[in-house]
């Protein structure tokens, strides 16, 4: 894909070993893109067992992979739910690289006690999910959108949403509402930013085999989920999402904006 080499990308939520953010960051690196990696600074005692066994170091490990691929990397602890921290992230990105071209809003709230009926959903869980997923995407898009406009050379924002924002399943109200909100934010912003040659799109992953799904055992329950939900017969990987991110940022994707693409093996047909 053309138009990537020499550019600068920011990828939030990039520190997990089994994830979507890590493959996005390393795919950018292989394409010659410098990468700013953000993570929440989670303590090592909260790492899953496979990360502990591998000696994983969160965004520091991903930064090493980016550099091994021949690209520059800047790893920063940052909270997307804090607008001041986001403004500081913009400043540090520009201080280091002098420009920014692609923003990938990948950071997301972990699955947890929010997966209950609305009548049982705590106010704290509602705000936790909204603060990271929707508000964080807004803060990042607002701050970096201003930087892209001032730079005057176009660019692309890619928001990682979910098919949950279209399927709207029960017991996922906070998560599904946050992702539907991301899709609305994407569409509105695309219509505003087109005059500046800035494209804004969303990707809606389906079932991706990452740490986020570790509450489902990778045995019979996992296979049943695949058999009943995914026509192509396999769970997705972070690489499947990374390929779509790079396409939307590339010259080949330069006439696409305002879209929310399902990348899900056929699980959802909603548009």
Active site residues: 175
Count, residues in the chain: 271
- With both helix axes pointing from N to C terminus, report the angle between 173-193 and 123-130 in degrees, rounded to the nearest 10: 30
- Cβ-in-10-Å burial (0-12, 13-18, 19+) of 220 comes to exposed
- With both helix axes pointing from N to C terminus, report the angle between 59-68 and 21-30 in degrees, rounded to the nearest 10: 20
Distances (CA, A) of 158 to 22, 58, 101, 183, 257: 15, 22, 11, 11, 10
Work out the number of other CB atoms within 10 angstroms of the CB of residue 146.
12
φ and ψ at residue 200, rounded to 5 degrees: -130, 115
Any bridge partners for residue 157, and if so which?
103, 200
The helix (H) or strand (E) run that includes residue 9 is strand 8-11
Any bridge partners for residue 155, and if so which?
198
Alpha carbon distance 87, 151 (integer Å):
16
Alpha carbon distance 90, 220 (integer Å):
45
Find tokens 């969160």 and name the residue.
58
- Give the chain's end-to-end CA distance (angstroms, integer): 25
């Amino acid at each position: 894909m053309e138009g990537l080499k020499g550019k600068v990308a920011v990828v939030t939520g990039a520190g997990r070993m089994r994830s979507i953010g890590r493959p996005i960051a390393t795919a950018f690196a292989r394409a010659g893109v410098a990468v700013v990696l953000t993570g929440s600074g989670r303590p090592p005692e909260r790492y899953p067992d496979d990360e502990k066994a591998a000696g994983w170091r969160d965004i520091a490990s991903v930064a090493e992979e980016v550099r091994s691929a021949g690209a520059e990397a800047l790893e920063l602890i940052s909270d997307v739910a804090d607008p001041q921290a986001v403004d500081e992230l913009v400043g540090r990105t520009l201080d280091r690289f002098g420009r920014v071209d692609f923003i990938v809003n990948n950071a997301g709230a972990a699955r947890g006690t929010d997966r209950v009926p609305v009548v049982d959903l705590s106010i704290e869980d509602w705000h936790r999910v909204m603060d990271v997923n929707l508000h964080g995407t807004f803060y990042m898009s607002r701050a970096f959108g201003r930087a892209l406009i001032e730079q005057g050379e176009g660019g692309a924002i890619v928001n990682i949403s979910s098919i949950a924002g279209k399927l709207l399943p029960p017991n996922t109200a906070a998560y599904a509402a946050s992702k539907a909100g991301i899709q609305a934010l994407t569409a509105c912003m695309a219509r505003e930013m087109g005059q500046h040659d800035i494209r804004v799109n969303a990707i809606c992953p389906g079932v991706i085999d990452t740490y986020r799904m570790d509450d489902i055992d990778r045995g019979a329950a996992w296979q049943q989920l695949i058999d009943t939900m995914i026509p192509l017969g396999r769970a997705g990987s972070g690489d499947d999402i990374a390929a779509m991110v790079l396409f939307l940022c590339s010259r080949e994707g330069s006439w696409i904006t305002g879209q929310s693409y399902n990348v899900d093996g056929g699980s959802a047909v909603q548009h």
